Structure 1
Amino acid sequence: MDTSSTVELIRFGDESQHLSVVVLGRHTPGVLNLHDILRAEIIVETGIGTLRLATTIASSDVDDWERALDLLADDEPVSWLGDRCPEIEIGPGDGTGFWRATVSDPAQSGVIVQIPITIDEADSHSRLEDLRRAYPSEVVATSPGAYQWRSPR
């Protein structure tokens, strides 16, 4: 069993209305080809309820999130986890100075939720580094379908 703590990778918005992505632990700790895949939950809190969607995050997704943060810093819209469901899209809002986050899960729940958010760039990068410290990549693919531990376990 994975005993690592949860890490909130994403937190946009305020206490009453926000989008967060919480990493719950490794998907299958100790299984070489699945060890670095993380279990996560996308949470959208609104005034009318809370949406929770289970997902997984691979090492490449973490790298993609870092690139997404760079794009957001340049006021560019982003899509994350878009190659599978659920997907998070973040883009400029309606001119009010806020951004909007859209979470969609068409394949499983059929839900689409959009909320206004604020983005704290420094906090976002700090959360990314917290995740990397808590769940460092410990497996390397040596060739397609072949894996080994990065360092002796």
Structure 2
Amino acid sequence: MREVASHQNELIRLTDRPGTDDAPGHEGRTGGRSVRVRVLGRHAPGSLLGHDWLDCEITVTADGVRGHFVALVTGRQLRRWEVALDRLDRHEAVRWLDEEHGPELRIEPGRPGGVWVTVSDAEESGVTLRVVLSPAPGWPDEQRALLKRVRDAYPSEVVEVAPGVHAWRGQQDSRTPTTDG
């Protein structure tokens, strides 16, 4: 059960590429627009239920506005983020963390090279923040590298050996089939 300093664990880092504010039509922007998802740590370290879940903070920064949202990210949601990155490569819109409770992240293609990023916390706070970003070329690949670092820092250590029955990876009965938890 290895932990890494939380300030190093960005799962998502979407930012304007350098020089975006100097582009035509961007007068009045003060720069620094970004959407970041940072892993704060394991949700319930040492507990079979919740050990592999990650407490995260979503931060949206745009022109003097800063919003923070709390999110719980599971292994299934990490796999969904990986699939979402493939869709983003094809310039398709994606929704992530679109569960019943907690914030939702939507990314939609915008003007050439740009994306609309919306974080909505309708259930908890009723707050929705939307920013237009012009990320650097190849930004989905950067997100894949961040996802890999998070998975390396917080490896899955719990398996579901039967519906609703969990065990530490490597300690389950070798005769019991395992699934990813």
Q: Same fold (TM over 0.5)?
A: yes
2:80 counterpart SS class? helix
Q: Is contact 1:13-1:116 (8 Å) kept?
A: no
TM-score, with length taken from structure 2: 0.78
Offset at residue 5 of structure 1 (A): 2.0
Residue 5 (1) aligns with residue 5 (2): yes
Residue 18 (1) aligns with residue 34 (2): yes
Moved over 3 A (4+): none
Offset at residue 116 of structure 1 (A): 1.1
1:31 counterpart SS class? coil
2:149 counterpart SS class? helix
- Matched-pair identity in %: 37
Quick check: which has more Rg, 1 or 2? 2
2:12 counterpart SS class? strand
How do residues 77-116 of structure 1 correspond to structure 2 at under 5 angstroms? 77-84=93-100, 85-93=102-110, 95-116=111-132
2:141 counterpart SS class? helix
TM-score, with length taken from structure 1: 0.92
Unaligned ranges ≥5, structure 1:
none
How do residues 1-153 of structure 1 correspond to structure 2 at under 5 angstroms? 3-6=3-6, 7-14=9-16, 16-84=32-100, 85-93=102-110, 95-117=111-133, 118=135, 120-152=139-171
Unaligned ranges ≥5, structure 2:
17-30, 172-181
C-alpha root-mean-square deviation of aligned residues, in Å?
A: 1.5
Q: What is the CA deviation profile of residues 44-102 of structure 1, one whole-angstrom value per residue up to 9, with x for unaligned ones?
A: 01112210011110000000000000000111110000013200000012x35311100
Q: Is contact 2:39-2:55 (8 Å) kept?
A: yes
Offset at residue 151 of structure 1 (A): 2.3
Matching residue's letter, 1:34: G
Distance in 2 separating the partners of 1:147 and 1:126: 29
Matching residue's letter, 1:28: A
Distance in 2 separating the partners of 1:59 and 1:4: 18
1:131 counterpart SS class? helix
Structure with the bigger percentage of strand:
1
Distance in 2 separating the partners of 1:110 and 1:81: 16
